[in-house]
Structure 1
């Protein structure tokens, strides 16, 4: 389910998609962005399917400047999202960097991230100031 924060003029703000099935994580991301003082609008998606649907309908709105993607979600996980994203990215007007954010410390997951060209970085939960600097590099 997609939800939007505040009725902000999207033309004046960067848009970041957060795709995670944990509502608390969305709250934390928004709070952390606010603490950083970033002029960014966060669009929250509780499922990867909703985010893919929104990206397929991108002509009606601006593309995000960044996607923060959870690895482990119900139905469509982060890796499934990447596969679906590959199919639609040829129609996008600009590259959209993706940062995978997960609680997993699994070495195989981290290695797979390195081999996935769509993924710019891998950060672990919970977010902190250091991890926010990684996110800021791609805004």
Structure 2
């Protein structure tokens, strides 16, 4: 299956992982061709990115997580991305509408997009553009 892709979803909320999987299925994404890999901590996702092996086609990360939040993840990812054999777009998906977070999104060139929760089919279309 050469055209199989994976998406890393980094969020400490189990319900969000369930919702994103369900939305991809409802939009006709074949689970054999698109694998959603869940990480409940940013540290675990970074550890996986450092390992040899296939990389994701896309990363979706939340802002508000503990102990490492989405901004701390983006800082480490920004340093790590230069060592990876391919570019990986990152979409931040959060319920935050805080002006400080929006300003930081605009000042973070590593972010391909910012999407607010809750997710719906329209917002999933934005995500699919990066796959």
Whether the TM-score (by the shorter chain) exceeds 0.5 is yes
Deviation of the 1:90 alpha carbon: 1.1
Identify the match of residue 126 of structure 1 among 100, 110, 118: 118
Deviation of the 1:106 alpha carbon: 1.1
Q: Aligned Cα RMSD in Å?
A: 1.1
Runs of 4+ off more than 3 Å: none
Deviation of the 1:21 alpha carbon: 0.3
Match in the other structure for 2:27: 36
Q: Distance in 2 between matches of 1:95 and 1:110?
A: 23
TM-score (norm 2): 0.93
Moved more, 13-22 or 103-112: 103-112
Identify the match of residue 95 of structure 1 among 87, 90, 115: 87
Counting only pairs closer than 5 Å after superposition, residues 1-139 of structure 1 correspond to structure 2 as 11-38=2-29, 39-57=33-51, 59=52, 61-139=53-131
Deviations 1:36-69 (A, max 9, x none): 1123100000000000000010x2x211010000
Which structure 1 segments of 5+ residues have no match? 1-8
Q: Distance in 2 between matches of 1:36 and 1:62?
A: 25
Q: Distance in 2 between matches of 1:70 and 1:44?
A: 12
Aligned residues: 128
